[in-house]
Structure 1
Amino acid sequence: MPATPRTVRAFALALAGLGITASTMSAVPATAAPGGTTSTTTTSTQKAAPVSAKRQVANRVLKARDIALRQRGDAYAYGAAGPASFDCSGLIRYAYSRAGIPVPRTSSAQAGAARRIAKKDMRPGDLMFFYGSGGVYHAAIFLRWSRGQALMVHSPRPGSRVHVAASWTSSWFGGTLRRA
């Protein structure tokens, strides 16, 4: 039975969700199957199955971290989102967007978009949201734990530059854009 345009579209969308593109499919030779349809075969010289969607997001989070680290030395500017100057949330938006993950513009909106996680579960590239009585006032990208302190890359305040620092307070919570 021939495939309908609706079936073909659904199949294409399913493959796209798995990270399989037309260029990926062209690398797999098609062979005739009984009934006149085509099928694909896999040989030992072909690449393994595409990376899972969860792994792709994790790789993009690490890419965002690396992009933010490359911005070290760039100036702080209120409301700036790169490429030469940043405020705290602008640095996060710039790095994550360049890595292929859309992120809201402000630190409070970013905190709302992130899935909250325990500090002990923080992984490189996750987000740190600093809060006080007025709510979230600062955001940074988590790098690692060092002697009990969280190291982060951030753009902290006027007169400073993007740099790596230890957290100055424990009044922060972790967030991630990784899938559960």
Structure 2
Amino acid sequence: MSAPTIPSVLLSRVAATVALATAALTATIVAPGLTQQASANPVSIRALKIAASKQGSPYRWGATGPYSFDCSGLTSYAFRKAGRILPRTAAAQYHRTRHISASARRPGDLVFFHHGGYVYHVGVYAGHNRIWHAPRTGTRVRLERIWTRHVWYGRVR
């Protein structure tokens, strides 16, 4: 008596289901709001994924990658790899983006932290009020909640 075989059609359906579930889970980890934001700019989404891929890289002032970063070094690296050139500093990046409201923000947009009119930090919006960023000396690139209301948002064109 031979063992029963599983039809190849059923196996391919199972494989497809596993692949789709894995892709959805991966997107949710990189950008928690990504699955709900299908209208986001493909370049910005690529930049978001590139920034997320640098998780754990050490912060180093003035560094632009590929192994260590400061905040604007991470954002300029991610967008350059995704096909857009950004200026070197957070303030210059802010002036190069299209300014948008918090309600219009989407994964892949830039989040600029400011004190008065001075922009001092930048990260890549990942959805659900979180950013990928290189925080400061002694830390590493990480996903973190936005900790203040003193932020502006910009969309890379």
Q: Which TM class, normalised by the smaller chain length?
A: 0.7 to 0.9
Give 1:133 deviation, angstroms.
Answer: 3.4
CA distance in 2, matches of 1:104, 1:160: 23
Question: For residue 63 of structure 1, what is the amino acid of its counterpart?
Answer: R
What's the TM-score, normalizing by structure 1? 0.64
RMSD after superposition:
1.2
**CA deviation vs aligned residue, 1:108-137 (integer Å, no higher than 9, x gap):** 000000010000111110000000036000
State which of 127, 133, 137 in structure 2 corresponds to 1:158.
Answer: 137
- Count residues in correspondence: 118
User: 5 Å matches for 1:1-180?
Assistant: 58-133=41-116, 135-145=118-128, 150-178=129-157
Compare relative contact order (CA 8 Å, sep 6+) and give the higher one, 1 or 2: 2
Q: Would you identify which runs of 4 or more consecutive aligned residues in structure 1 move more than 6 Å?
A: none
- Structure of greater Rg: 1
Q: Deviations over 1:24-71 (max 9, x none)?
A: xxxxxxxxxxxxxxxxxxxxxxxxxxxxxxxxx921111000000000
| Structure with the higher strand share, 1 or 2 | 1
Question: Percent identical across equivalent pairs?
Answer: 41
Whose helix proportion is higher, 1 or 2?
Answer: 2
Structure 2, gaps ≥5 residues long? 1-39
* Residue type of the alignment partner of 1:111: Y
Give CA-to-partner distance per residue, 1:117-168, whole Å, 9 cap, x none: 00011111000000003600000000102xxxx1000000000000000011
- Unaligned 5+ runs, structure 1: 1-56
Query: Equivalents in 1 of 2:83, 2:117: separation in Å?
Result: 31
TM-score normalised to the size of structure 2?
Answer: 0.73
Which letter maps to 1:171?
H
